Amino acid sequence: MSTEETREKRIFQLTRRKALKGLAAGLGALALPAKGASASIWESFFQKNFRELGKPELERILAKLEKEYSAQYGKSVKVKATPPLEGVLYGYGLDLSRCIGCRRCVYGCVTENNQSRDPQIHWIRVLRLEKERGVDLEHAEQYYNPSTVPEEGHFYLPVQCHQCENPPCTKVCPVQATWKENDGIVVVDYNWCIGCRYCMAACPYGARHFNWKKPGLPAGEMNPDTHYLGNRPRPVGVVEKCIFCMQRTRELDGRYPACVEVCPVGARKFGNLLDPESEIRYVIANKRVFILKEDLNTQPKFYYFYSV
Amino acid sequence: MKKVWAFLKGCFVLLRKGSKIYYAWVTFLLALMVIGTVAYISQMYSGLIVTAMRDQVSWGFYISNFTFVVGVAAAAILLVIPAYIYQWKPIKEIAILGELVAVSAMVMCLLFVTVDLGRPDRFWHLIPKIGILNFPQSLLAWDVVVLNTYLVLNLTIAVYILYNLYHKREPNKSFTTPLILFSIPAAVSIHTVTAFLYNGLAARPFWNASILAPRFLASAFCSGPAGMILMFQVIRKWTNFEIKNEAIFKVAELIAYAMFINLFLLGAEVFKEYYSDTAHLAPMQYLYQGLHGHTDLVSYIWTATLFNITAFLLFLIPQTRENFITLNIGCILIFIGVYIEKGMGLVVPGFVPDVLGDFYEYSPTSTELLVTMGIWATGLFVFTMLLRVAIPIMNGEFYVGEDGVHPYIGDQEFLFRRAVASAEEPDILTQ
């Protein structure tokens, strides 16, 4: 091979990373990391989609994030990337005959999952409905504020991500930044989301929330037990949602999601739909169960039921 | 290569030359663009919190404008079809203006989408191979593909034809004809895909109606040509480019048909929702009547409806269609009417009431207004620059010189007030 051929070959042996660097450099410094930016900023800028990361790459990223978060929040922060457990498909039950609308689940969730406190982001929204009308969302009230709950003539319908089996939100994402994992949890790659909010328009349950501003998360309130696809601190301009507390539920010595634990009346049930002995399977088999907006064929794994 | 370089240099000379009016106009646009850029930088700095969009209404003024402008771009085929398919001469002379409108509108569309992104720094995630374009699953991915195709297509056609005219030779038909033919389905596709983008969302009953894409097309064939009729008159009044009256009246006639279909489809939609009176009626009630005391959009949509009906009548009657005063009133009414109907009137009711019955009344903030104004100015700026080169070429005042390399540049003024606009002068293209 002549030297010229070799040189030509070398010129065209651009790796993806190199090509990107060239592209970014050409586009100028407007929105991109400015001069003096450290190598790590460039590295996270060029980071691939979570599902394309190799193991060593992912481990390096997790270690880097742990270091960054630990410094930022002044405590030892763990960032896990625990994959789904084999043979597990999560299902959630919500007992409407018990729920009293106290919203402890809303705030339990915020504390556990490091949502922004300013502005407030809530993954769970509790709707107050009129007993006379039944589940009539057009007459739902989210901003009820009585001195005590429950209120006469009303019942409460908490809504969070239904972890649909046929999710309309993941389908519409133009960059595959959101997908359904094997255990049924729909996740978002906060480092890949471009913030177009198409998924928010597609979700029939209002389960997706956007970081309109840099999330305000006080260091003292930060939960250091985090998952990469779940409750780690979020950047501005990306979408987030309920992930069934995967930082807890995917561990072998796992715990229930925070909302299940905190519910004072035991209205929330959680378990493995593939396990015939699980509580959630018992509920589905023996109680009056319904799912929200069944006609949309989203096939939620979030079951409302009446125990009495 | 040397020839191309000389042509480009000639273009830049042209862009820099012009009357005082030209300079004033360009300075005005640049000023608006600077204001828009400053507003956008502040938005990037603070996040989209500076807009009025929130989780309930997650798309707003930017996407409304985007939707409307896609329609304006698609309407260029209303000139292309009579010009190239039916070889109708008066319109053939101005068809290239339609293509330049399409190019400018596409630039605006891409800008409107970009300013709406939470992470514009990650736009490269959309580029296939380097990033991941979720094609064919996501309709937004489809939109990225068709919008960029349409932009490149129109730019190629226009530049190729103009470059040949500059060299005083006939454009090669075997190159242009397939591209022009392809631009017709491409124009339909940009609007259809944009309609499907909304249409495919079962969560939003207001959009989830099969009539949406036909309505999009019908309204696009009103607003785009209406804008073009106004623009044609400005061009023939302020530059020495000729546009025949009959071309304008033909476009006006096409608007009348399109507006009839638009109003008919709207009526069909309103009937279906109101007569069946299901839970899906709520967004339409919110739009036309107000719901539970929320009435922000009511006055806008009735203004739009009134404008559209009035304009339809004006365009239907030949006497008012061919009278420039009533014609122009009609065009302005249509442009505003469709801007409301296909913009905020389409996007916002998709989100109000939201999927859980919450009412968040959206109205754009000053940041959104300024950024939007900046993008409109950018679109007009791009269009002005394109015309600055295209019109001298078409008038035979910018062409390649004797040596075959260096250009002759004749048109020094570009924008000036013409004493009498006579529409019946010798054909300028075949000089």
Q: Where are the domains of chain A?
A: 1-45, 78-308
What sign does the CA torsion over B131, B134, B139, B143 have? positive
Q: How many CB atoms lie within 10 A of CB B430?
A: 8
- Asked, for residue B6, whether it belongs to a domain, the answer is no
pLDDT of res. B428: 38
Distance of CA B171 to the CA centre of its chain: 26
Residue B109: closest CA among B385, B366, B345, B375: B375
Contact A204/B116, CB-based, under 8 Å? no
For chain A, give the mean pLDDT. Answer: 89
Contacts of A173 in chain B (CB under 8 A): 134, 138
Strand A78-80 and strand A225-227: pairing?
A: parallel
Q: Which of A40-54, A139-153, A218-232, B152-166 has the lowest mean pLDDT?
A: A40-54
Residue A31 has its nearest CB partner, among B44, B282, B351, at: B44
Q: Residue A13: which pLDDT band, with cuts at 50, 70 and 90?
A: very low
Residue partners of A182: CB distance under 8 A and separation at least 6: A84
- Asked, for residue B428, whether it belongs to a domain, the answer is no
The identity of residue B106, as a single letter, is: M
Q: What is the 3-state secondary structure (H, E, C) of B326-374?
A: HHHHHHHHHHHHHHHHHCHHHHHHHCCCCCCCCCCCCCCCHHHHHHHHH
R_g over Cα of chain B: 22
Angle at B8 between CA B7 and CA B14, to 5 degrees: 90
CA distance B115 to chain A (A): 10
Chain A contact for B48, CB < 8 A?
A: yes
Q: Which of A40-44, A138-142, A174-178, B176-180 has the highest mean pLDDT?
A: A174-178
CA distances A93 to A268, A271, B234, Å, are: 6, 9, 65
Q: Can you point out the beta strands (E) in B139-283?
A: none
**CB-CB contact of A150 with A160 (8 Å):** no
**DSSP string of B372-430?**
HHHHHHHHHHHHHHHHHHHHHHHTTSEEE-TTSSSEEE--S-SS---S---S----STT
Backbone angles phi, psi at B409, to 5 degrees: -115, 110
Contact A197/B204, CB-based, under 8 Å? no
A240: pLDDT strictly greater than 80: yes
Contact A213/B46, CB-based, under 8 Å? yes
CA distance A188 to chain B (A): 14
Q: How many CB atoms lie within 10 A of CB B306?
A: 12
Q: Residue A20: which pLDDT band, with cuts at 50, 70 and 90?
A: low
B-contacting residues of A 103-162, CB under 8 Å? 119, 125, 127, 137-140, 142, 159
B-contacting residues of A 17-36, CB under 8 Å? 19-20, 23-24, 31-32
Backbone angles phi, psi at B87, to 5 degrees: 50, 40
**CB-CB contact of A155 with A94 (8 Å):** no
The mean per-residue pLDDT over the stretch A280-306 comes to 95
- Asked, for residue B55, whether it belongs to a domain, the answer is yes
Read off the tokens for B147.
Answer: 């919008």
- Asked, for residue B423, whether it belongs to a domain, the answer is no
**DSSP string of B246-271?**
HHHHHHHHHHHHHHHHHHHHHHHHHH
In a structure prediction context, what are the per-residue pLDDT tens digits for chain B, which is 431 residues long?
788 888 899 899 889 888 889 999 999 999 999 999 999 999 999 999 999 999 999 999 999 999 999 999 887 888 888 777 777 777 777 888 889 999 999 999 999 999 999 999 999 999 998 899 998 999 999 999 999 999 999 999 999 999 998 988 888 888 888 888 898 899 999 999 999 999 999 999 999 999 999 999 999 899 989 998 999 899 888 888 888 888 888 888 889 999 999 999 999 999 999 999 988 899 999 999 999 889 989 999 999 999 999 999 999 998 998 889 999 999 999 999 999 999 999 999 999 999 999 999 999 999 999 999 999 999 999 999 999 999 999 888 888 888 877 888 887 778 887 765 444 444 333 33
**CB-CB contact of B138 with A172 (8 Å):** yes
Q: What is the 3-state secondary structure (H, E, C) of chain A?
A: CCHHHHHHHHHHCCCHHHHHHHHHHHCCCCCCCCCCCCHHHHHHHCCCCHHHCCHHHHHHHHHHHHHHHHHHHCCCCEEECCCCCCCCCEEEEEECCCCCCCCHHHHHHHHHHCCCECCECCCCEEEEEECCCCCCHHHCECCCCCCCCCCCCEEEEEECCCCCCCCHHHHHCCCCCEEECCCCCEEECCCCCCCCCHHHHHCCCCCCEECCCCCCCCHHHCCCEEECCCCCCCCCCCEECCCCCHHHHCCCCCCCCHHHHHCCCCCEEEEECCCCCCHHHHHHHHCEEECCCHHHCCCCCEEEEECC
Distance of CA B271 to the CA centre of its chain: 30
Q: Which of A183-192, A224-233, A286-295, B77-86 has the lowest mean pLDDT?
A: B77-86
SS3 B240: coil
Residue B122 has its nearest CB partner, among A19, A194, A210, at: A194
- Asked, for residue B225, whether it belongs to a domain, the answer is yes
pLDDT of res. A11: 46
Read off the tokens for B310.
Answer: 């009035």
B-contacting residues of A 204-223, CB under 8 Å? 204-206, 208-214
Residue partners of B37: CB distance under 8 A and separation at least 6: B374
SS3 B118: coil
Range of the domain at B48: 19-402
Helix (H) or strand (E) holding B170: none
Backbone angles phi, psi at B350, to 5 degrees: -65, -25
Contacts of A125 in chain B (CB under 8 A): 356
CATH assignment at residue B30 = 1.20.1630.10
Read off the tokens for B347.
Answer: 């996007």
Residue A189: closest CA among A175, A206, A201, A203: A175
Q: How many CB atoms lie within 10 A of CB B257?
A: 14
Chain A contact for B9, CB < 8 A?
A: no
Assess whether the previous peptide bond of B353 is cis (omega < 30° from 0). Answer: yes
- The span from the CA of A281 to the CA of B137, in Å, is 33
Contact A238/B118, CB-based, under 8 Å? yes
The identity of residue B39, as a single letter, is: A
Read off the tokens for B132.
Answer: 């991941």
Backbone angles phi, psi at A165, to 5 degrees: -75, -30
Contacts of A209 in chain B (CB under 8 A): 55
Q: How many CB atoms lie within 10 A of CB A290?
A: 11
A-contacting residues of B 220-239, CB under 8 Å? none
CA distance B204 to chain A (A): 8
Q: How many CB atoms lie within 10 A of CB B39?
A: 22
Is ipTM over 0.95? no
Contact B357/A198, CB-based, under 8 Å? no
Nearest CA in chain B to A138: B357
Contacts of A236 in chain B (CB under 8 A): 47, 118
- The span from the CA of A127 to the CA of A101, in Å, is 8
Q: Residue A296: which pLDDT band, with cuts at 50, 70 and 90?
A: very high
Chain B interface disruption, residue of A27, A45, A139, A172, most B CBs within 10 A: A172
Contacts of A166 in chain B (CB under 8 A): none
- The span from the CA of B352 to the CA of B56, in Å, is 8
The identity of residue B67, as a single letter, is: T
Fold entry, domain A78-308: Alpha-Beta Plaits (3.30.70)
The mean per-residue pLDDT over the stretch A268-280 comes to 95
Read off the tokens for B354.
Answer: 């939201």
CA distance B50 to chain A (A): 8
CA distance B375 to chain A (A): 17
- The span from the CA of A120 to the CA of A254, in Å, is 28
The mean per-residue pLDDT over the stretch A261-276 comes to 96
**CB-CB contact of B364 with B60 (8 Å):** yes
Residue partners of A199: CB distance under 8 A and separation at least 6: A169, A170, A172, A173, A178, A208, A239
How many residues does the structure list for chain A?
308
Residue partners of A109: CB distance under 8 A and separation at least 6: A115, A122, A123, A124, A160, A242, A257, A258, A259
Domains contained in chain B, number: 1
Chain A contact for B119, CB < 8 A?
A: yes
Angle at B335 between CA B329 and CA B336, to 5 degrees: 90
Residue A175 has its nearest CB partner, among B131, B203, B279, at: B131
**CB-CB contact of A242 with A257 (8 Å):** no
Residue partners of A113: CB distance under 8 A and separation at least 6: A123, A223, A230, A231, A242, A243, A245, A258
Q: How many CB atoms lie within 10 A of CB B12?
A: 10
The identity of residue B275, as a single letter, is: Y
Contact B355/A23, CB-based, under 8 Å? no
